[in-house]
Amino acid sequence: MTPAHHPTARLRVLAVDDVRPALEEFARLLDASPDVAETATADDPIGALKQIQAGRFDAVFLDISMPGLDGLELGSLLSRLSEPPAIVFVTAHERHAVTAYGIGAVDYLLKPVRAERLAAALDKVSRAVRSAPEAAPPGRAPRPDPDPLPVLPVETAGRTRYVRRTEVFYAEANGDYVRLHTRGGAHLVRMPLSRLEEYWAPCGFSRVHRGFLVALDAVRELHSDTAGQLLARTEVGDVPVSRRHARELRERLLQAARGGPVGSA
């Protein structure tokens, strides 16, 4: 039995919130709890995923409203791990509670969190940890990494729809947003292109220009326009390719054509 699952063991927890002052205050609350041995923090979902992949946590406390990948989506990814941590949502809104418990959350805390309410949540976490199955023995296949951002929430006229990564031909920088180009049209998401690249580069997307990211399997051909600009042709439009990215793009397309992995080089 791992130390994290011993009945009397104190907990190793991760707190995730994109608002740094709120994250620091909540981390102080956790540190003050006699049930907590160690508190780690992450101020964005991909940072949280990296920490979870690097080490074991008994529980993850997730804010819901975060850019790019919200807490509910991150919680859903974590719940599918072979050895998932206990998940507790921490939010200012009651309306997500049904969804949160549907994902398998141990508890749902409303901000501002009181110390006695946190103590009750940690007690639930401890009971969940004690009842969890034993960890896989050494030599067993490692748990799969959660898929980084397979869908993106898009707000349109007060409604939220989800655009799957597999639907996107290319992404275009648009100020603080990215414009996702799909067969069904273009969709704006509040996220810098550099952050989207961090999520999607291992999944077959390539940065081809300072303002563009393209799905390798969407590229039908490379051609030049009358001004000599190299373009990657996709079903939904041409994507400019800068000189500094041209060689890498050609190599990755060749690698993909040979059936090799299309992850980042």
Residues 230, 118 share a domain: no
Tell me, yes or no, whether 145 lies in a domain: no
Give me the CATH number covering residue 169. 2.40.50.1020
Residues 198, 118 share a domain: no
* 135 contact partners, CB below 8 Å, separation of at least 6: 1, 2, 5, 83
* 92 contact partners, CB below 8 Å, separation of at least 6: 65, 110, 111
Tell me, yes or no, whether 57 lies in a domain: yes
pTM: 0.54
Give backbone dihedrals phi and psi of 106, rounded to 5 degrees, phi first. -75, -35
pLDDT score for 135: 47
pLDDT in tens, 115-170: 999 999 999 999 988 876 554 444 444 444 556 677 777 777 767 677 889 999 99
pLDDT score for 174: 92
pLDDT score for 148: 62
Tell me, yes or no, whether 226 lies in a domain: yes
pLDDT in tens, 104-113: 889 999 999 9
pLDDT in tens, 209-226: 999 999 999 999 999 999
Residues 155, 127 share a domain: no
pLDDT score for 5: 42
Give me the CATH number covering residue 125. 3.40.50.2300
Residues 125, 162 share a domain: no
Residues 126, 158 share a domain: no
Residues 157, 113 share a domain: no
pLDDT score for 113: 93
Tell me, yes or no, whether 104 lies in a domain: yes
The overall average pLDDT reported for the chain is 84
Domain boundary among 82, 103, 131: 131
Residues 171, 62 share a domain: no
Tell me, yes or no, whether 144 lies in a domain: no
Residues 157, 76 share a domain: no
pLDDT score for 259: 65
Residues 108, 19 share a domain: yes
Question: Using CA atoms, how far apart are residues 171 and 226, in angstroms rounded to an integer?
Answer: 24
- pLDDT, average across residues 176-189: 92
Residues 116, 163 share a domain: no
Domain that holds residue 13: 3-131
Tell me, yes or no, whether 218 lies in a domain: yes
Tell me, yes or no, whether 248 lies in a domain: yes
pLDDT in tens, 69-83: 778 888 888 887 778
Q: Tokens representing 224?
A: 């030049």
- With CA atoms as reference, report the closest residue to 42 among 15, 60, 65: 15
Which three-class secondary structure state does DSSP give residue 162? strand
Element (H, E) at 83: none
Using a 10 angstrom Cβ sphere, with 0-12 exposed, 13-18 middle and 19 or more buried, the burial of residue 238 is: middle
Q: Tokens representing 170?
A: 């290319």
Residues 92, 7 share a domain: yes
Residues 177, 94 share a domain: no
If one counts the domains in the chain, the total is 2
- pLDDT, average across residues 185-211: 90
Domain boundary among 81, 100, 131: 131
pLDDT score for 134: 53
Element (H, E) at 93: none
Q: Tokens representing 102?
A: 């549907």
Question: Using CA atoms, how far apart are residues 172 and 181, in angstroms rounded to an integer?
Answer: 8
Tell me, yes or no, whether 192 lies in a domain: yes
Domain boundary among 103, 131, 159: 131
